[in-house]
Structure 1
Amino acid sequence: MSMDHALLIIYTIGSIASFLPQIIKLIRTKSADDFSLLAWVLFVVTSGTWCLYVWLYTQDAGAIFMSLLDAALNITVLIQSIYYQKYPGGRKHNIRG
Structure 2
Amino acid sequence: MVIPVQEEEQTIDMVLQEASKLSTKEIILVLNGTSDRTGEIVKTYGCKIISHDETLENDVGRGICAKYATADCLLFFDADIKVQFMNHNLLSML
User: So what's the TM-score if we normalise by structure 1?
Assistant: 0.28
Q: Which has the higher helix share?
A: 1
Instruction: Select the structure that is richer in strand.
Output: 2
TM-score (norm 2): 0.28
